[in-house]
Amino acid sequence: MRAFLGKHRAGAVFISLLCIEAGLLGILVNCTGILFSAVIAEFGFRAGDLSLYYLIRSLTAAASCGVLTRLFFERSAKAVITAVGAVSAVAFGLMSCFNSLWQWYLSALFSGIGISFILVMLPIVINNWFAKNNGLLIGLAMSASGIAGAGYGQVCSVLISRYGWRTATVLTAASGFLVAVIPALLFLRAAPKLDLAAVRAQEAAARAELREGQNATQLPRWVFPLCAGVLISVMSFASLSNQMPIYAQSLHYSLEVGATLASLTMLGNVLGKLSIGVLADRIGIYRAVKLLVAVVGCALLLLVFATGLLPVLYVAALLFGTIYAVGTTVPSLLLLDLYGKQHYKPKVSRYQSLSAVIAAFAGALLPYLYDFTGSFAPVFGLGAAMCALALPALGVLHRVSARRRAETAQKNAA
């Protein structure tokens, strides 16, 4: 067994990353909306009331991201994942005992730990183990959450129908923990064993090269805020996927229809993450992101105007799910293109923290817009407007990138 793992260690590590993404994000995060639709039906809570759960969870994730990332890479990766998985599963499972809103808010403080550093950790581990096709591998790994969310979403719906949402909550918590932690204990390693002296020498050489070319390739300070603003303004509406079961209920569809819509958004999640890397290689990252944003905008409009056409709503939910790529796969690719390999990693970490905070507030406020208006149409319409505004901003970033490349090429030629 050891000989096999030694020969195929990188593949085993990749499998463990798939399982972490599937268990912590795909099951424990993406299935929350299905459970909440049953909770709302029983207790009569407003959609906005439970949306504060997402706000608190995201703020906890942003606050704990740096600490857990550092512990993961500097201490024991397996111990950190085990602890994070246990805390997340217990916080999720205890919801089966809740009867008051404040209990869900308290649970969110601990649930956020499970999603705090996954989006930062995963691409770094992949870059540590793989030298080629990293973009495709990152997209594949991140798509595991969508696959698990789509598959287990249907299971969760059946469990709620047969045993009630309280029993379904416990079973979901146990499933998420087992899927994420067992493969991590068996296979996960943050990085291969390397010659530390050689690594330090490479880092010193990289820093020297960076200092030499920094003046020629430095971008204006407004580029990062613009890039982050474009992505966050669109990604903030991804939280609406958690509201799909409630959206279906508002249109007088059954819980099963709501679960199907939620599952289709998870399939769209997979589709977006897998396709963005391929499209970026073929037509360029900026054209690919523009196409993705346009698809999301059209899907939101379909959700507004096709409420009586269930097959169209299914298609719209599938296309809307591609929005997840805007917040996961796209930032690393876009920031890599803008800042280069030496600059982009801290930018990605900064973006994820900023995105978690802003998207958290947006995710909490948007359901209240539904509560006040009695319709999801204003929410979806606002999302479509944000997508339309993002398109020209992406064009500006494209021109900045082209100018930086031209300046770098001119410097190298001289």
Question: 135: pLDDT confidence band, cut at 50, 70 and 90?
Answer: low
Answer with the residue of higher pLDDT: 174 or 198.
Answer: 174
- What mean pLDDT is predicted for residues 406-411? 73
Mean pLDDT of the chain: 82
pLDDT at residue 161 greater than cutoff 80:
yes
Mean pLDDT is lowest, of 25-29, 72-76, 89-93, 182-186, for 72-76
Question: 294: pLDDT confidence band, cut at 50, 70 and 90?
Answer: very high
Answer with the residue of higher pLDDT: 410 or 88.
Answer: 88
Could you give the percent of the chain with pLDDT greater than 90?
25
pLDDT at residue 213 greater than cutoff 60:
no
pLDDT at residue 199 greater than cutoff 70:
no
- Determine the pLDDT at residue 364: 67
Answer with the residue of higher pLDDT: 138 or 363.
Answer: 138
Answer with the residue of higher pLDDT: 53 or 390.
Answer: 390
pLDDT at residue 206 greater than cutoff 50:
no
Q: Which of 65-74, 321-330, 392-401 has the highest mean pLDDT?
A: 392-401
pLDDT at residue 216 greater than cutoff 50:
no
pLDDT at residue 303 greater than cutoff 90:
yes
Q: Which CATH architecture has domain 2-190+221-413?
A: Up-down Bundle (1.20)
pTM for this predicted structure: 0.70
Closest C-alpha to 38, from 53, 27, 50, 20: 50
- Determine the pLDDT at residue 4: 41
pLDDT at residue 298 greater than cutoff 90:
yes
Instruction: Report the C-alpha gap between 246 and 253 in whole angstroms.
Output: 9
